[in-house]
Amino acid sequence: MAGWFASAGEKPYRLKQLKDWYFKRPEVKSFQELANFPKALREKLERDFAFLSLSLEEAKLAPDGSKKQTLLLRDSLVTETVTMPMDGYHTVCLSTQVGCPVGCRFCFSGRHGLKRNLTAGEMADSLRCSLPPSGAESLNLVIMGMGEPFYNYEALKTFLNICKDGFGVGSRRVTVSTVGVLAGIERFAADFPQMNLAVSLHAPREELRRTLIPRAPSEIRELLPALKKYFAATKRLVTFEYAMIGDVNDSLREAKELCELLKGFDCKINLIPLNEVPEGDFSPSEKENSERFVDYLKGRGMNVTVRHSLGGKVGGACGQLADRRNGDVPKKS
């Protein structure tokens, strides 16, 4: 943009003004609304650029206060974001891809494979559409929507830098969740040592994990050392995500194996009650099984929390985000 302003014969302060409009005035949606720009400049900008790369197609408000937004991209695909009010903070959950190539068996987001990566601009625009009224200061950003963030690392990196330097999001308030892309974990430690990392584990042994995540990018025996290295480099506790799936990974056997696996590693475990997805093969854990699981882990001194899932009523909970419009639910083959 700096180059464009210079070649259009405009003063450098126009760039600063444009940034202020973009980052500080999320209600502004077009060049026409830039009140301190002359009409001719607004028109020139409009001719050469799109102010936003997406538009709001639908917003659904759930009774729990969370909001799912479906955003229409220029090629008619959609991305979804979820905003959740939590403890005085607004948590915004963003996607990094349209679809997902990993195809975890309990997740709707990966049901149709990968359509394409989101660009950094599309991610920034989807954050901009989801900012709380109070602005970025009260924001928690979780990159836990559709897609595997570390399979789109370059765009993710650009976007996270825009979050810090443009929107003013505090690094410690950002969490990226990965299914275990080792190269991404290493780069993330070097590029964003103050941000948080969550890793989808879901099973304490390889063969069970493979049945749930058939295209897992790494094996547990490689993942653990990589995460220990991450912790040594950043001193930030890794959070292991573990979806509680009825009679699949929620028995005492898995609880014991999980303790054994993570023994001596300073980390957090976040148990996620399984959210129902269309045509899903799995059901959530029975209450007594998940309680027994939690009690066992707590009894062994593990740092364990249970995720309070929001957005389920509007298809906005973990694993429910889709790459298709509502109503276009895939038919059973």
User: Dihedral through CA 196, CA 201, CA 202, CA 204, nearest 10?
Assistant: -130
Taking the least distance from each CB to ligand SF4, the nearer of 210 and 256 is 210
Of the listed pieces 2-10, 48-56, 122-130, 140-148, which binds ligand SF4 according to CB under 6 A?
140-148
Task: Choose the contact partner of 103 out of ligand SF4, ligand SAH, none; CB within 5 to 8 A by kind.
Answer: ligand SF4
Is 318 part of the annotated catalytic residue set? yes
Chosen residue from 98, 100, 163, 238 binding ligand SF4 by CB under 6 A: 100
The H or E element spanning position 232 is helix 220-234
Chosen residue from 10, 80, 125, 148 binding ligand SAH by CB under 6 A: 148
Is 80 part of the annotated catalytic residue set? yes
Distances 75 to 57, 79, 116, 322 between C-alpha atoms, Å: 14, 11, 11, 16
Distance CA(283)–CA(150), nearest Å, equals: 28
Give the burial class of 314: count Cβ atoms within 10 A of its Cβ; 0-12 exposed, 13-18 middle, 19 or more buried: buried
Of the listed pieces 60-68, 101-109, 129-137, 223-231, which binds ligand SF4 according to CB under 6 A?
101-109
**Residues in the chain, overall count:** 333
Query: x/- string (CB under 6 A) for ligand SAH, residues 173-212?
Result: ----xxx--------------------x------------
Query: x/- string (CB under 6 A) for ligand SAH, residues 75-114?
Result: -----------------------------x-xx-------
Distance CA(308)–CA(153), nearest Å, equals: 28
Return the number of other C-beta atoms located less than 10 Å from residue 231's C-beta. Answer: 16
Taking the least distance from each CB to ligand SF4, the nearer of 127 and 176 is 176
DSSP 27: T
Residue 50 CB, nearest approach to ligand SF4 (Å):
27
Chosen residue from 85, 103, 246, 280 binding ligand SF4 by CB under 6 A: 103
* Catalytic one of 80, 122, 148, 241: 80
3-state secondary structure at position 142: strand
Chosen residue from 124, 277, 297, 304 binding ligand SAH by CB under 6 A: 277
Q: Of 208, 174, 179, 55, give the one whose Cα is nearest residue 110.
A: 179
Residue with tokens 């990589």: 226
Distance CA(210)–CA(290), nearest Å, equals: 22
Q: Which residues bind ligand SAH (CB under 6 A)?
A: 104, 106-107, 144, 148, 177-179, 200, 241, 243, 272, 274-275, 277, 318-319
Q: Which residues bind ligand SF4 (CB under 6 A)?
A: 100, 102-104, 107, 109-110, 146-148, 179, 200, 319
